[in-house]
């Protein structure tokens, strides 16, 4: 059965590239190859600085520990007025002087980030409001207008930010934002953001969590191949070849260490199981508290007595790479943040995305008439499909995560179970069983619950998230459950509409179950308005299920 599935998957991937490979263009590269993690780019003159925690040392620790700003992200987004080394020197000279006030010192030497709140015109329909928001959320932050010592990483072209406290572009958010931009006829912004990400891959070596220096040590769910596919749907197969160098380099980033990892071990994002199956996990290069959540991470580590703090920090950071920060998916006891073990878990969503990356590279190689490469990546995708269906199928009737250190599946059903369907890596019978589990466990009055656990974390019940609703809708339609897809999509649309009618805004996440639907909660920060990916998914769902609205 496994071998047959492998053959079917390889055949489907082969048909995809043969069908889409039309035309022949030379390989295209936006910028020259990066020299390393911290470097100056030869064409732009941009130098990637260390994160604020390293630039400011004990000043950073003092500011974050003493809570100078209510939100830990504020300080790391603030702009220093002079060279950071001079600020640190001034701090060391003044900190011991009687009457020294840390908040006054920070005010003297730093400019806090600007408020991003917006006031929309009255009486807009939901669709009108989303169209109005696009320019409000669009930024252009090139080397010409980013302050010299800012943590913001310049990008050459305009892009859309999520909104609220999220003042920069985010990796996986961008795909769902692009969906709406394309639906709104803004292919120019879709192309701009693709070019920006290609630039980041070429200059940094990967797409960071977001374009901030403190995000560079990790990535986020690898949706770049889906972005390329999205553009190709409008612009033709040449897009696959245009971005083939960056697709391959992103793949190399996620597969670092694959040639040296031993059975039963892991290197960076790569895990090799005892039978030599190779899959991926979330991982972060650093094992220190996150700059943007320093105090929260320190406090979490203090609750853990049986592990070194560095391990806890790495697992917290790895969960941030997952985009699900935080969720019962990563907790040893399914309930408590202090039991986090992200790096011990092989996630079903990540490996489904890697399968799509492999099949997309095969398409790009087909466009380039590099058929040896096509065969290689069709083979890699086929092997991954076998691994997904061997290790990431839970016999309770859904796709799920696997704890490679304990050698057992995670019994924690979540909306991530739909990713193998989204990537077309699911076996049909298992796809149908997964749909039944979604309907039985996750379908709620306001749409799709994120998990079955209510932990007070934002990526758990009772919250529902726009990107997961789009994954669900597309997945279920692909495998013949358009009825369930429509039910999920229309319920979530009603939830979004309800909040918009009462509060005139779209928000980051929504409550989908319990006594009443509305804006979601939980996690490290208050509910954020904006909101990039909600706007994109809502526009797609409106056109699918409520085209007259």
Residue ranges at the known binding site: 165, 172-173, 209, 218-220, 323, 524
Pairing of strands 278-280, 270-272: antiparallel
DSSP string, 460-511: STTEE-HHHHHHHHHHHHHTT-HHHHHHHHHHHHHHHHHHHHHHS--BS-EE
Given its phi and psi angles, is residue 123 left (phi above 0), alpha (psi -120 to 50 degrees) or beta? Answer: left
DSSP string, 104-117: HHHHHHEEPPPP--
Strand blocks (E) in 217-347: 265-267, 270-272, 278-280, 345-346
Closest by CA to 163, choosing from 506, 531, 533, is 531
Annotated binding residues for substrate, written as ranges, equal 165, 172-173, 209, 218-220, 323, 524
Closest by CA to 291, choosing from 359, 370, 210, is 210
Q: Three-class SS of residue 227?
A: helix
Of 195, 325, 401, 529, catalytic: 325
Measured distance CA(64)–CA(75) in Å, rounded: 8
**Angle, CA 451 vertex, CA 450 and CA 455 arms, to 5°:** 105
Q: Three-class SS of residue 195?
A: helix
- Residues paired with 265 in a beta bridge: 272
In order of 211, 226, 359, 439, the CA distances from 389 in angstroms are 35, 22, 17, 21
Closest by CA to 193, choosing from 158, 163, 162, is 158
The verdict on whether 508 is a catalytic residue reads yes
545, HSE (Cβ side, Cα atoms, 13 Å): 21
Handedness of CA 366, 194, 319, 328 (dihedral sign): negative
Of 292, 297, 315, 508, catalytic: 508
C-beta of residue 182 within 8 angstroms of C-beta of residue 190: yes
With a CB cutoff of 8 Å and minimum separation 6, the contacts of 459 are: 324, 325, 326, 327, 329, 450, 451, 465, 523
Q: Write the secondary structure of 19-74 as one string of H (helix), E (strand) and C (coil).
A: HHCCCCCCCCCCCCCCCCCCCECCCCCCECCCCHHHHHCHHHHHHHHCCCCCCHHH
Q: Three-class SS of residue 3?
A: helix
Say which residue the tokens 């709620």 belong to: 444
Long-range contacts of 87-94 (CB under 8 A, 24+ apart): 87/56, 87/59, 88/55, 88/56, 88/57, 88/59, 91/58, 91/59
Active site residues: 325, 508
């Amino acid at each position: 059965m496994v071998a047959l599935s492998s053959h079917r998957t390889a055949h489907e991937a082969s048909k995809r590239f043969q069908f889409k490979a039309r035309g022949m263009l030379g390989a295209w590269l936006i910028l020259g190859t990066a020299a390393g993690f911290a470097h100056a780019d030869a064409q732009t003159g941009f130098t990637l600085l260390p994160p604020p925690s390293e630039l400011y040392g004990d000043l950073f620790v003092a500011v974050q520990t003493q809570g100078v700003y209510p939100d830990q992200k504020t300080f790391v987004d603030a702009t220093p007025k002079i060279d950071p080394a001079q600020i640190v020197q001034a701090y060391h000279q003044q900190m011991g002087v009687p009457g020294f006030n840390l908040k006054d010192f920070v005010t003297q030497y730093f400019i806090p980030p600007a408020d991003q709140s917006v006031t929309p015109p009255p009486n807009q329909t939901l669709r009108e409001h989303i169209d109005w928001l696009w320019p409000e959320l669009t930024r252009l932050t090139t080397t010409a207008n980013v302050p010299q010592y800012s943590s913001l990483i310049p990008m050459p072209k305009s892009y859309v930010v999520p909104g609220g406290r999220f003042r920069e572009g985010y990796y996986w958010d961008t795909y769902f934002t692009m969906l709406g931009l394309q639906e709104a006829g803004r292919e120019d912004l879709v192309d701009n953001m693709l070019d920006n990400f290609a630039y980041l891959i070429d200059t940094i070596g990967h797409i960071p969590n977001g374009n901030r220096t403190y995000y560079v040590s990790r990535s986020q769910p690898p949706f770049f191949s889906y972005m390329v596919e999205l553009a190709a749907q409008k612009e033709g197969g040449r897009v696959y070849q245009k971005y083939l160098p960056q697709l391959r380099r992103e793949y190399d980033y996620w597969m670092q260490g694959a040639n040296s990892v031993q059975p039963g071990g892991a290197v960076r994002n790569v895990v090799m199981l005892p039978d030599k199956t190779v899959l991926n996990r979330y991982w972060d290069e650093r094992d220190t508290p996150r700059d943007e959540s320093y105090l929260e991470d320190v406090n979490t580590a203090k609750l853990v007595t049986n592990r070194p703090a560095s391990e806890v920090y790495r697992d917290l950071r790895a969960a941030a790479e997952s985009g699900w920060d935080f969720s019962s998916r990563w907790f040893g006891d399914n309930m408590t943040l202090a039991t986090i073990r992200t790096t011990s878990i092989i996630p079903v969503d990540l490996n489904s995305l890697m399968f799509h990356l492999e099949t997309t590279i095969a398409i790009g190689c087909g466009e380039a008439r590099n058929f040896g490469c096509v065969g290689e990546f069709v083979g890699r995708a086929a092997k991954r499909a076998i691994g997904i269906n061997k290790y990431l199928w839970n016999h309770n009737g859904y796709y799920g995560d696997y704890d490679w250190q304990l050698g057992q599946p995670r019994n924690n059903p979540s909306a991530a179970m739909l990713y193998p369907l989204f990537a077309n890596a699911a076996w049909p019978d298992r796809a149908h069983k997964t749909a039944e589990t979604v309907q039985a466990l996750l379908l709620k009055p306001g749409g799709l619950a994120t998990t079955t656990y209510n932990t007070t974390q934002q990526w758990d019940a009772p919250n529902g998230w726009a990107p997961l609703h789009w994954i669900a809708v597309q997945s279920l339609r692909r495998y013949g459950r358009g009825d369930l897809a429509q039910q999920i999509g229309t319920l979530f649309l009603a939830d979004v509409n309800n909040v918009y009618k009462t509060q005139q805004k779209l928000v980051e996440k929504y409550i989908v179950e319990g006594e009443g639907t509305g804006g979601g909660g939980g996690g490290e920060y208050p509910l954020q308005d904006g909101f990039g990916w909600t706007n994109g998914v809502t526009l797609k769902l409106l056109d699918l299920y409520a085209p007259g609205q």
